[in-house]
């Protein structure tokens, strides 16, 4: 049984509730346990995962958040750098599922976050577990 850490950027509470519901359901359906910590925004997710990995308490990680395009360049920075940070950690051997939604508007986020629709939280959790299985196979 694996222990999964979910790190969520709780900027959009309603959307994050749906992402969390999907991620938790997928982890529990696979027979694993989870904990959740909250960070201020998507840029903090990779840092929190790196800190948590140092503890040795977790086998896999899921990053959840929502980044909605606004009127400034900030969207590109947050979307790109949060993804880059997660990819760097994955390349270092962490089993990570990226559930940070990067969308044009709240309607797109709602469809992707909703477990009854695209269930991107659940997909991110399943991706983390799939990467954990590969890590165990090749490790």
Q: Is 105 one of the annotated binding-site residues?
A: no
Q: Is 39 one of the annotated binding-site residues?
A: no
SS3 label, residue 97? strand
Q: Is 44 one of the annotated binding-site residues?
A: yes
Q: Is 62 one of the annotated binding-site residues?
A: no
Catalytic residue among 29, 33, 41, 74: 74
Q: Count Cβ atoms below 10 Å from residue 115 Cβ, excluding itself.
A: 18
Q: Is 112 one of the annotated binding-site residues?
A: yes
Q: Is 68 one of the annotated binding-site residues?
A: yes
CA distance 51 to 102: 24
Annotated active-site residue 74? The verdict is yes
Q: How far apart are the first and last CA of the chain?
A: 17
Structure-token pair, residue 94 = 């962490």
Q: Is 43 one of the annotated binding-site residues?
A: yes
Structure-token pair, residue 77 = 């920075």
- For residues 53 and 13, the answer to whether their CB atoms sit within 8 Å is no
Q: Which residues are annotated as a binding site?
A: 11, 42-44, 66-68, 71-72, 98, 112
Q: Which residues are annotated as a binding site for (2S)-2-hydroxy-3-oxobutyl phosphate?
A: 71-72, 112
Q: Which residues are annotated as a binding site for 5-amino-6-(D-ribitylamino)uracil?
A: 11, 42-44, 66-68, 98
Could you give the residue numbers annotated as active site? 74
């Amino acid at each position: 049984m694996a222990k999964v850490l979910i790190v969520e950027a709780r900027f959009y509470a309603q959307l994050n509730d749906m992402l969390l519901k999907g991620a938790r359901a997928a982890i529990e359906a696979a027979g694993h346990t989870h904990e959740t910590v909250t960070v201020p925004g998507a840029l903090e997710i990779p840092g929190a995962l790196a800190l948590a990995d140092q503890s040795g308490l977790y086998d896999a990680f899921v990053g959840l958040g929502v980044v909605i395009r606004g009127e400034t360049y900030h969207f590109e920075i947050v979307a790109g750098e949060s993804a880059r940070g997660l990819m760097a950690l994955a390349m270092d051997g962490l089993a990570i599922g990226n559930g940070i939604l990067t969308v044009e508007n709240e309607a797109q986020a709602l469809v992707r976050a909703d477990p009854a629709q695209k269930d991107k939280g659940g997909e991110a959790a399943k991706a983390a577990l799939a990467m954990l299985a590969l890590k165990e196979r090749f490790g």
